[in-house]
Amino acid sequence: MKDGKFLVLGIESSCDDTSASVVADGRELLSLSISSQIDIHTLYGGVVPEIASRNHIKNINAVIDEAMEKAGLDFDDIDLIGVTCGPGLIGSLVVGVSAAKALAFAADKPLVGVHHLQGHISADFIEYPELEPPFTAVVASGGNTDIVDVRGHNDMLMLGKTRDDAAGEAMDKVARVMGIGYPGGPVIDKLAKSGDPHAVEFGRVRLEKGSYDFSFSGLKTQVINYVNQCRMKGLEIKKEDLAASFQKAVMDVITEKALEAAHEYGRDSIALAGGVASNSLLRSMMKDLCEANSLKLYVPRPVLCTDNAAMIACAAYYKYKEGYRDDLTLDAFPVLDLAKGARGEWTAE
Ligand code: KG4
């Protein structure tokens, strides 16, 4: 506690970013430190789990020190430590969880584990101090494409999720086939700006009527087949058009399902979260749809969309406020149910 503010140190290491952050009173961002491993994993065209964990070990202390220094605080000032304990790459998660437990023990601070997706949704609370549940959340990242009915800070119902590839994962894989770099999402986003989204007709996979689940692997295969056929026939592939057509097929389905969920559950706002929420087409389509349907739209700035510890500190704050606590037996979980995790019940799906 300093200047009457409740201070949370958040730690995130679920995939390839090592991050620490200090957040005051749940929503005021005092510092954010992120060490990215993109340059290393680019060499392999995707995240290599073993390399990711080894680099978390190298980076974690420096990232925590930097977050504390930027916030101008000592560990004595910290009131709570929040850490992502799942879902994610197990070797990566254990690094953050171990660091958090060591600090909680050494500095004698309370500890709260956070579900990574609850964290992503909490990025919207930092960006928009006025935002309160209930609302519909769309979490789209490299590992998830989910629609969540957010009923309370720690009361979340997963309405639908991807049955195979996540949206970001499909973008990364398509970019790899197109040979345009990693991570694919930002490159496809940029290329698509000068392409025609109607140039190549890709089918939209909507699954059964009423389902909020997603499936992007079929779309990914359609793109791969298209690329292979063009190559076999010696036809030129216009990358901008292909990127725009593929991206539109992904975003059409996400935006439609988000809107349906908001209507069905009677919500008046939609919050986007996760790395793919940085996508310019998703943002503009959602903006138009929300305006046309009198819904409010919340989208965090890009640094809060991708993996970061500020969102974890925010989620930890609201868990702590509602009485949730973990102890030094807190474990790391590769698979975790969101509704249970938000309530601090750490069991796999
Ligand atoms: O949330 P995040 O940093 O990590 C995970 O938890 O997965 O999301 C990373 C994902 C990658 O798949 C990346 O390609 C995608 O977010 N991404 C984007 C954009 N920026 C990042 N996808 C589409 N458009 C973007 N502008």
Nearest CA to ligand 1 atom 20: 186
What is the number of the ligand 1 atom nearest to the C-alpha of 307? 3
Per-run averaged pLDDT (10 residues), the chain, 349 residues: 93 96 98 92 86 96 98 97 97 98 98 98 98 98 95 98 95 94 94 98 91 96 96 95 98 98 98 97 98 98 97 98 97 95 85
CA–CA separation, 274 vs 144, rounded Å? 8
Task: Report CA(230)–ligand 1 centroid distance (Å).
Answer: 28
* Residue located nearest, by CA, to atom 8 of ligand 1: 275
pLDDT recorded at residue 47: 87
For ligand 1, mutation pick of 93, 276, 286, 304 (most atoms within 8 Å of CB): 276
Q: Which residues line ligand 1 (CB under 6 A)?
A: 15, 141-143, 168-169, 171-172, 183-186, 189, 274-276, 278-279, 306-307
Quote the pLDDT of residue 286. Answer: 98
pLDDT at position 2, please?
85
Q: Which of 18, 35, 93, 306 to mutate to test the pocket of ligand 1 (most atoms within 8 A of CB)?
A: 306
Count CB-CB contacts under 10 A for residue 61. Answer: 12
Three-state DSSP string of the chain? CECCECEEEEEECCCCCEEEEEEECCCEEEEEEEECCHHHHHCCCCCCHHHHHHHHHHHHHHHHHHHHHHHCCCHHHCCEEEEEEECCCHHHHHHHHHHHHHHHHHHCCCEEEEEHHHHHHHHHHHHCCCCCCCEEEEEECCCCEEEEEEEECCEEEEEECECCCCHHHHHHHHHHHHCCCCCHHHHHHHHHCCCCCCCCCCCCCCCCCCCCCECCHHHHHHHHHHHHHHHHHCCCCCHHHHHHHHHHHHHHHHHHHHHHHHHHCCCCEEEEECHHHHCHHHHHHHHHHHHHCCCEEECCCHHHHCCCCHHHHHHHHHHHHCCCCECCCCCCCCCCCHHHHHCCCCCCC
pLDDT value of residue 348:
66
Residue nearest to atom 22 of ligand 1 (CA): 185
Mutate to test the pocket of ligand 1, among 18, 84, 122, 141 (most ligand atoms within 8 A of CB): 141
Give pLDDT, residue 283.
98
Rounded CA-CA distance 330/319 in Å is 15
Q: Which atom of ligand 1 is nearest to the CA of 172?
A: 14
Q: Which two tokens stand for residue 144?
A: 């998830």
**Cα separation of 226 and 202, whole Å?**
10
Instruction: Give the model's pLDDT for residue 182.
Output: 87
Tell me how far the alpha carbon of residue 290 lies from the centroid of ligand 1, in angstroms: 22
pLDDT for the residue numbered 41: 86
Q: Edge-to-edge strands of the sheet including 135-140?
A: 155-160, 145-152, 135-140, 269-273, 296-298
Q: What pLDDT does 349 receive?
A: 60
